[in-house]
Amino acid sequence: MAKMRFMDLSKYTVYDLYAAGQRISVGYTMQDAIERYLEMHPTADPAKVEQELREAIQRQMW
């Protein structure tokens, strides 16, 4: 039987959370990733987190 590993999601970037959410959930949105990131990093600026995610998505499109 395979061993289950638990990942420390607090080390994920907001883009990592978004990409993982897209792979394992139907309808996982950018806002979902931003909210999850802010839950783990409550002092982060929501606008900067959103901008970081948008820029990361743009980089992946090219």
What average pLDDT does the segment 8-28 reach? Answer: 90
Q: Which tops the pLDDT comparison, 19 or 4?
A: 19
46 Cα distance to chain centroid: 13
Residue 50 has pLDDT above 70, yes or no: yes
Q: Which tops the pLDDT comparison, 9 or 14?
A: 14
Write down the pLDDT at residue 8. 75
